[in-house]
Structure 1
Amino acid sequence: MSDRKPYRHRFPLSVIRYALWLYHRFPLSQRDVQELLHERGIQVSHETLRQWNIKFAPLLTEDLRQREPRRGSRWHLDEMCVVIGGIKHWLWRAVDEYGAVLDIHLQQHRDTDAAKSFFIRLLGEYDVPEVIHTDKLWSYGAAIRGIPVLHTVEHVQVVSSARCNNLVEQSHRSTRQQERSQVGFKRRRRTQEFLALHARVTNLDHYSRTTVPAVIRRRNQSTAQLRWREAMQQAA
């Protein structure tokens, strides 16, 4: 693959790809990424990194979503509180039975309308699931009853600390790490774009972190790197 320069960009695609991967894969600030690039002899400002994220993040998120393999049919849903610019928001998250993130959605409310909006968003991308695991928030049940295609889906309500819902609880941890590294989130739209791409990048490396044989783990890592390069090439 040729290492071309995107239109009106000073750095080649490999540098942009590497910078964005660092920023979204690990809990690093843009100034941290700037220092890592400086160590490699690449002089780039944190403002340039910010502009790269604004331009490429939405395109990468959509392309990576289309390249993901078929997801499981058991959904685990949960929501967490996130403060953005001093205003409380709720980050709704859904993962499958393997821990891969299906989707995330920032909303200002934690009620039936918000839950229903999230379900409709999920059904627009994935098939109707076999089982839905949620906590005991009553809004989930009300939203499921309000969507006809979900009437036949088994709804399992569990406490947040229950083992069967630990998948989505553990998935929240990376968001908290990113929140601390950025000293809080500032804007809702940018936060949604950042966390959406962060979830897709985490999915790329998901199976390489599980306890599978080394040969399969290396193959999965190579596949993940290939998907990231292809997505970056397409976005540019």
Structure 2
Amino acid sequence: MRWYVAYSLSLRNLEEMMAERGFQVDHSSVHRWVIKLVPLFEKAFRKHKRPVGRSWRMDETYVKVGGQWKYLYRAVDKAGNTVDFLLRAHRDKAAACRYFEKAIDRNGTPKTVTMDKSGANLAALQAINTERETPIKVRQVKYLNNIVEQDHRAIKRRTRPMMGFKDFRCARIILSGIETMHMIRKGRMKNSGVTRTVADQFYSLVA
């Protein structure tokens, strides 16, 4: 399961790799394991995730689900650390609001959010600011968002061999596993001063 969310491998690649090691595992079984276990890994990781900075770079990227483009909202702080992510069916104010609400609930309130010229994202943050005593500063400066746009590539590189997702639920779960593995690779998991490999950190989540 870790191989699937960590590397650019298809389910059939994994079936062949396991066969070479003497294990007969159908690719559909690997898919079922991923859908069942990834939410447990992500939930455990959230308890050990390091805090992020208060200057966020927010953007959305495209993911194909059931032959249609859906939208993965993401943000990193100015050091490139993943703040949070959320897959939504639509790219609009409501979707952006839901993303900001989730990210703030889990990571605290940022001082500044930098985004592109998206009117929907701006409207969402303005709506959130109307309910806040101290508003979040908004910057719409495209070049400052290069860091999150570059970070999208790591996620897209992993999803490319999948050639799109069949349904929204599976896409949401698998993407959460990919994002969790991506954060572990960035060193975003608290390790209590013990040096461990990325694989060991991942497996420790259910130890």
Structure 1 position 44, deviation (Å)? 1.6
Distance 1:204 1:35, change over 3 A: same
Structure 1 position 157, deviation (Å)? 0.8
Give distance in 2, aligned partners of 1:141 and 1:220: 42
Does the Cα contact within 8 Å between 2:112 and 2:139 map onto a contact in 1? yes
For structure 2, the residue ranges without an aligned partner over 5 or more in a row are none
Does the Cα contact within 8 Å between 1:134 and 1:156 map onto a contact in 2? yes
Whether 2:169 is the aligned partner of 1:195: answer no
RMSD: 2.1
Structure 1 position 106, deviation (Å)? 1.6
Provide the identity percentage.
30
Q: TM-score scaled by structure 2? A: 0.88
1:161-211 superposed Cα distances (whole Å, 9 cap, x missing partner) = x1x212211121133223320121111111011111111111111149xxx
Q: TM-score scaled by structure 1? A: 0.78
- Range moving further from structure 2, 101-110 or 25-34: 101-110
Whether 2:166 is the aligned partner of 1:186: answer yes
Mapping for residues 17-56 of structure 1, pairs under 5 Å = 20-56=1-37
Give distance in 1, aligned partners of 2:91 and 2:147: 21
Matched letter for residue 167 of structure 2: R
Mapping for residues 118-157 of structure 1, pairs under 5 Å = 118-147=99-128, 148-149=131-132, 152-157=135-140
Distance 1:125 1:67, change over 3 A: same
Pick from 142, 146, 164: which aligns with 1:166? 146
Matched letter for residue 128 of structure 1: T
4+ long deviations beyond 6 Å:
none
Give distance in 1, aligned partners of 2:165 and 2:195: 30
The residue number in structure 2 matching 1:231 is: 205
Highest relative contact order (Cα 8 Å, sep 6+), 1 or 2?
2
Does the Cα contact within 8 Å between 1:144 and 1:151 map onto a contact in 2? no
Structure 1 position 151, deviation (Å)? 5.0
For structure 1, the residue ranges without an aligned partner over 5 or more in a row are 1-19, 209-218
Pick from 157, 182, 185: which aligns with 1:205? 185
Give distance in 2, aligned partners of 1:204 and 1:157: 29
1:111-131 superposed Cα distances (whole Å, 9 cap, x missing partner) = 211111111111110110121
**Number of equivalent positions:** 201
Structure 1 position 53, deviation (Å)? 0.6
Give distance in 1, aligned partners of 2:7 and 2:81: 17
> Which of the pair has more CA radius of gyration?
1
Give distance in 1, aligned partners of 2:5 and 2:194: 19
Does the Cα contact within 8 Å between 1:115 and 1:143 map onto a contact in 2? yes
Does the Cα contact within 8 Å between 1:204 and 1:224 map onto a contact in 2? yes
1:168 aligns to what SS in structure 2? helix
Matched letter for residue 176 of structure 1: K
1:135-160 superposed Cα distances (whole Å, 9 cap, x missing partner) = 1111222112211238522211112x
Does the Cα contact within 8 Å between 1:83 and 1:89 map onto a contact in 2? yes
Pick from 53, 73, 82: which aligns with 1:72? 53
